[in-house]
Amino acid sequence: MPERYRCAACGNVTRFDVTATRRTRAFHHYTIGGDLTVEDTEVLEERVESVSCRWCGSARAVEALVEGDDAAPAGEAPA
Ligand SMILES: [Zn+2]
């Protein structure tokens, strides 16, 4: 499940600029001519450094939505 965010300043829940560092492993598939197709990218590690609101530009007001929050899609029963 990808992390979801909400901007407390303007109410935006759909547009964010996310700066992150990722460590990935992928299958690099070359043709004999040297053209590259990257396949099966697997994220081994991901560190989100900052999230800013695309609407109002605020970085401080953006908060992560907790799973089970009212805004999250239903489907999973509480433990
Ligand atoms: Zn905002």
Cα of 79 to ligand 1 centre, how many Å?
A: 33
Cα of 56 to ligand 1 centre, how many Å?
A: 4
Write down the pLDDT at residue 71: 52
The residues, ordered by sequence, that sit 6+ positions from 28 with a Cβ below 8 Å of its Cβ are 36, 37, 38
Q: Find the mean pLDDT for residues 14-20.
A: 96
Per the rule left: phi > 0, alpha: psi between -120 and 50, beta: everything else, 55 is alpha
Q: Tell me, yes or no, if the pTM score tops 0.75.
A: no
Cα of 66 to ligand 1 centre, how many Å?
A: 18
Question: What are the pLDDT digits (tens) for 39-75?
Answer: 999 999 999 999 999 999 999 999 998 876 555 455 5
